[in-house]
Amino acid sequence: MSGILVVLEDRDGRIGRISWEAVAAALQLASTVSQPVHAVVFGADTSAVAAEAAARAVNSVLRVDHALLKTYSSDGYTHALEQLIRARQPEYVVFPHTYQVRDFAPALAARLGQSLIGDVISIGGGPVFTRLLMQGRLTGAYRHSGGGPCFVSVQSGAFRSDSVPGGAAPIESFVPTLDTAQIRTRTGEPFRAGAQTVDLGSAQLIVSVGRGIKEAENLPLVQDLATALGAELGASRPICDSGWLPMERQVGSSGQTVAPKVYIAVGISGAIQHLVGMKGSQCIVAINKDPDAPIFEVADYGIVGDLFEVVPALTAAVKAAKQ
C-alpha cells in the first residue's frame, strides 16, 4: 500500500478551485510522508480535465471514464472509486470537501472498513489532521491507525490553490465495470427556488442578525440599526429556517456570498458555513456576548457584550454621527 490519490471535481469541464486546494493538501501530505501524488478525474470523457490536471506537479493523472459517470450518482462514484482503490492500494485518498464528496465518500470509506477524516483545515507531521468541532468553537487533532487506506477531505479555503506548481504528468486510464442496475437513484436538474429580489452581493453595508436575537419580535432592534446606517439586513441560516426573514437574506454557503465594505454580525457565532459567505468583507464587526465565539477569529472590530444593550446604543450613536 502506498501513494496518495487526490480526487478532483470539475464544473462545466474545468477543475474547480477547491479541487486545486485538495491537490495542495495532497502535496503537503506527500512532503511529510514521502509518497507520490496521483490525481483522479471522473466522467464520461475526461480527456480535457485530465490534460488540465496533468499540467500540474502531480506524479500521474488517472482517468476514470465510463458512460455511467457522465452525471454524478453516489452509487456510480462509490463503485468506480472502490474498484480503483482496490486496484491501486493507495495509503491516502484526499478529496475536496464538496456537497458531492460528503454525499458518497463516507459510504466509500465504510465499504473499505474505514472512517473518513472530513473537512480538514490543516495537516501536520505524523500525519495529524486538524478539523473543527462544536461548530467551530474547538479544533480536534485526528490520527488514522490500523490497516487500510486513510480517507481525508479538505475544507474549502484551508489550502492555497495557487501554491500548486506546474508540471507535465503522464496520464493513465482506468476503466471501471459498472452497469445501470447498480445506480439506484435518479437525479434531476438543479433549479432555484424563486426570483431573488434582494441583492446582498452588491450592498456596501450589511447588518446581519443571528440566533442571539432570540425571538422574531426582537428583530426591529437590528432593523433599526440597519436603517440608521443605510445598510441591508442579512441573517444567519437559523433565522431564515425559522421563517423570521426570507431565505434571500441568508448569508453563507447555502445562501448569498457577500463582500461589503462593512459587515456587522450581531449575535452570530461564526460557523464555517456562515464565514465562507462573508469573510471577504473589507471590514468585519462582531457583536457577541461570548468572547470565544469563532466570529471573532475573522473580525476586525469586536464588541463582547449583550446585543440588547449594544445595538440600541450603536443605533443612537450612528444617528448622532450622521446629524
Ligand X SMILES: Cc1cc2nc3c(=O)[nH]c(=O)nc-3n(C[C@H](O)[C@H](O)[C@H](O)COP(=O)(O)OP(=O)(O)OC[C@H]3O[C@@H](n4cnc5c(N)ncnc54)[C@H](O)[C@@H]3O)c2cc1C
Q: Which residues within the stretch 187-246 sit at the binding site for ligand X (CB under 6 A)?
A: 210-212, 236-238
Q: Which 72-101 residues touch ligand X, going by CB under 6 A?
A: none
- Within 13 A of 59's CA, how many CA atoms are on the CB side? 12
Closer Cβ to other proteins, 64 or 264, answer by number: 264
> Which residue from 60, 253, 298, 318 is in contact with ligand X, where contact means CB under 6 A?
253
269 in contact with ligand X (CB under 6 A):
yes
96 in contact with other proteins (CB under 8 A):
no
Encode burial over 43-66: b for 16+ CB neighbours within 10 A, e otherwise. Answer: beebeebbebbbebebebbbbbbb
Closer Cβ to other proteins, 35 or 98, answer by number: 98
Closer Cβ to other proteins, 38 or 237, answer by number: 237
Q: How far is the CB of 218 from ligand X (least distance, A)?
A: 9
In a 3-state reduction of DSSP, which class is residue 297?
A: helix
Closer Cβ to other proteins, 19 or 74, answer by number: 74
> Which residue from 35, 198, 238, 259 is in contact with other proteins, where contact means CB under 8 A?
238
Which has the closest alpha carbon to 271: 253, 246, 291, 290? Answer: 253
| Burial classification of residue 116, based on how many CB atoms lie within 10 Å of its CB (0-12 exposed, 13-18 middle, 19 or more buried) | buried
Which of ligand X, other proteins, none interacts with 236 (beta carbon under 5 to 8 A by kind)? ligand X
How many residues lie near other proteins (CB under 8 A)? 96
| Burial classification of residue 67, based on how many CB atoms lie within 10 Å of its CB (0-12 exposed, 13-18 middle, 19 or more buried) | exposed
d(CA 197, CA 52): 38
C-alpha cell at 38: 496521483
d(CA 132, CA 121): 8
Phi, psi of 249 (to 5 degrees): -95, 0
Q: Which 289-318 residues touch other proteins, going by CB under 8 A?
A: 290, 292, 294, 296-306, 309-310, 312-314, 316-318
Cα distance from N-terminal residue to C-terminal residue, the chain:
71
92 in contact with other proteins (CB under 8 A):
no
| Burial classification of residue 79, based on how many CB atoms lie within 10 Å of its CB (0-12 exposed, 13-18 middle, 19 or more buried) | buried
Interacting stretch for other proteins, rule CB under 8 A, among 2-10, 25-33, 48-56, 136-144? Answer: 136-144
d(CA 245, CA 242): 8
C-alpha cell at 220: 426591529
Q: How far is the CB of 227 from other proteins (least distance, A)?
A: 14
Which of ligand X, other proteins, none interacts with 167 (beta carbon under 5 to 8 A by kind)? none
Site string for other proteins, 248-287 (x = CB under 8 A): x----xxxxx---xx-------------------xxxxx-
Closer Cβ to ligand X, 3 or 210, answer by number: 210
**Identity at 74, one-letter amino acid code:** S
d(CA 96, CA 116): 12
d(CA 219, CA 207): 12
Closer Cβ to other proteins, 59 or 137, answer by number: 137
> Which residue from 44, 175, 306, 316 is in contact with ligand X, where contact means CB under 6 A?
306
Interacting stretch for other proteins, rule CB under 8 A, among 25-33, 51-59, 105-113, 172-180? Answer: 105-113
Name the residues that contact ligand X, by CB under 6 A: 135, 210-212, 236-238, 250-255, 267-269, 271, 273-274, 277, 288-290, 293, 306-308
